[in-house]
Amino acid sequence: MTVFRARRVVLPTGARPADVVVRSGRIAEVARYGSAPDADLVDLRTDALLPGLVDTHVHVNEPGRTSWEGFDTATRAAAAGGVTTLIDMPLNSVPPTTTVDHLEAKRAAAEGTVHVDVGFWGGAVGSNLADLEKLHAAGVFGVKAFMSPSGVPEFPHITGAVLDATLAEVARLNTVCLVHAEDPAVLAAAPAPAGRSYRAFVRSRPGEAEHAAVRRLVAAVRRTGARVHVLHASSGGVVPIVAEARSDGLPITAETCPHYLVLTAEEIDDGDTAAKCCPPVRDAANRDELWRWLAADGIRFVVSDHSPAPPDLKRPPSGDFDAAWGGISGLQLGLPAVWTEAFRRGHTLVDVARWMATAPAAFAGLATKGMIGVGRDADLVAFDPDAEFVVDPAALHHRHPVTAYAGRTLRGLVRGTWLRGQPVDGGRPAGTLLERGA
C-alpha cells in the first residue's frame, strides 16, 4: 500500500486536502487528510496532486520515421509533462496504421520501450475500407482521416463519396472517426505562403478552410449517423458549427491544442518556423474565442497534437514557411502551457484536469483513466502550480530540442509522475500497450 498525501488533491468535484490510498496499482480510497497510515507515504506538501493526463493526439512516428521521434523518447517526454496515457496517431510512421499487419508492426516497435501507457488509432485512407473492421477487431480506439492532403504521400486524404463510405463503415462498427478538417478547395484558392512571412502563411490556411470542411463533415454525419470528432480546431468559428450540430442530436465533438490557447499570430516572428502547424496559430481575438468555447464545453478537451520532425525539416536558417514541416512539439509542455493561460484567465486546476485528463479519457473509452477516484488506475502527477520556469529546449525529452515555446516563461512544474502507483523516472519502461475496451 502507498499513500499519496496532498493539501490539494484535484478531484472531479473540486480540490481538497486528502490521502489517496493505492493498492495493487489502483486507487483504493480517497481518505481524510492525515488519516491513512504513514507507511510508504508520498507527502507532496505544497504540490497539488492531479490525475495523470490523457493525450489522445500524439504522432510518435515509429517505425519508419524514428529519426523524427520514437516510443522511448516520446513517452519519456510524456511522463515529464504529466501525461500517463497517450494514443498514437496512424501517421507519420512508415507504414501507417492502415492494416492489421501495420498495426502489429507499430506494436512490435513499441513493445518494451514505453514509459507510459500507449494505445493506437487506425487510419482511414479510402483504399483500406475493407481493413477498418479488422483494425477495429484488433483493438484500435477508432480511425483517423484527412479531408485535405496530410503532408505525407502514404496517407492520402479522402473526400466526397469515399468520405461517406468511410463514415458509413464507422457507424456500422460503432466506433469514431477523427478528422483533420480543412477544405482543399478553400486552401487551393487561398494566397500561397510567402517565404518567411508568418502573416502570409496564416492567410494561406484561412479559418474558412476549417469552417467549410466542418460544414461538409456535419452534412456527412447527417447522412451516415457516424460518430465524428474534429481534430485540432484552431479557428473559433469551427465551434458554433459543431455546437449547432450537437443541438440537433448529431454525434460530433471537437478538440483544441495548447498552442492555439497560448500562442498568438501577433507574437510569432517571421521565419520562426518552429511555430508552423496546420491549421495555424491565429490571432489573439481568435484565441480568446477558443477559451470562451472551452469554458462553455463547446470544445470538449485539450490535447497536444505533438508532431515533431528533425530540425532541418523546419528549414532553418531560411525560415521558409512554405517549405518547413508543419507540426509543434508540445507533449512535455502542454500542462504548464495551458495552466499558464488558464490561471491568467481565472480557471482552476479542476478545469485543467477535466480538459486534459477526464474528458479525453472518457472520449477514448478509457474507463480506469483520467481522474482520481476509487477503482481508477493510480496514474498521478505532483504539480507545483505556482512555480515558474523559462523553457529551455535542451531540457526536453523529445528526440529533437525544437519547440515553439523556447524562451517563454511558463507557470507550473511537474515534480513527479506515477503510473499505477509506481514512479516514472526514466528507468526501466513500465508502460503497457492498450486496446480499446480492455
Which residue in 178, 120, 118, 171 sits closest to 150, CA to CA?
Answer: 178
Secondary-structure class of domain 52-366 per CATH? alpha beta
Domain residue spans in the chain? 4-43, 52-366
* C-alpha cell of residue 13: 468535484
pLDDT at 437: 83
pLDDT at 198: 97
pLDDT at 194: 84
pLDDT at 39: 82
Cα–Cα distance list, 395 to 82, 155, 400, 403 (Å): 15, 33, 11, 11
pLDDT at 124: 98
- Give the Cα separation of 76 and 153 in Å (integer): 29
Tens digits of pLDDT across the chain (438 residues): 999 999 999 999 999 999 999 999 999 999 999 999 888 999 999 999 999 999 999 999 999 999 999 999 999 999 999 999 999 999 999 999 999 999 999 999 999 999 999 999 999 999 999 999 999 999 999 999 999 999 999 999 999 999 999 999 999 999 999 999 999 999 999 999 989 999 999 999 999 999 999 999 999 999 999 999 999 999 999 999 999 999 999 999 999 999 999 999 999 999 999 999 999 999 999 999 999 999 999 999 999 999 999 999 999 989 999 999 999 999 999 999 999 999 999 999 999 999 999 999 999 999 999 999 999 999 999 999 999 999 999 999 999 999 999 999 999 999 999 999 999 998 999 999 999 986
The HSE-up count of residue 97 (CA atoms within 13 Å, CB side) is: 33
- Give the Cα separation of 127 and 122 in Å (integer): 13
- Give the Cα separation of 371 and 350 in Å (integer): 10
- Give the Cα separation of 82 and 50 in Å (integer): 9
Tell me: cis bond preceding 360? Omega within 30 of 0 counts: no
3-state SS of the chain? Answer: CEEEEEEEEEECCEEEEEEEEEECCEEEEEECCCCCCCCCEEECCCCEEEECEEEEEECCCCCCCCCCCCHHHHHHHHHHCCEEEEEECCCCCCCCCCCHHHHHHHHHHHCCCCCCEEEECEECCCCCHHHHHHHHHCCCCCEEEECCCCCCCCCCCCCHHHHHHHHHHHHHHCCEEEEECCCHHHHHHCCCCCCCCHHHHHHHCCHHHHHHHHHHHHHHHHHHCCEEEECCCCCCCHHHHHHHHHHCCCCEEEEECHHHHHCCHHHCCCCCHHHCCCCCCCCHHHHHHHHHHHHCCCCCEECCCECCCCHHHHCCCCCCCCCCCCCECCCCCHHHHHHHHHHHCCCCHHHHHHHHHHHHHHHHCCCCCCCCCCCCECCEEEEEEEEEEECCHHHCCCCCCCCCCCCCEEEEEEEEEEECCEECCCCCCCCCECCCCC
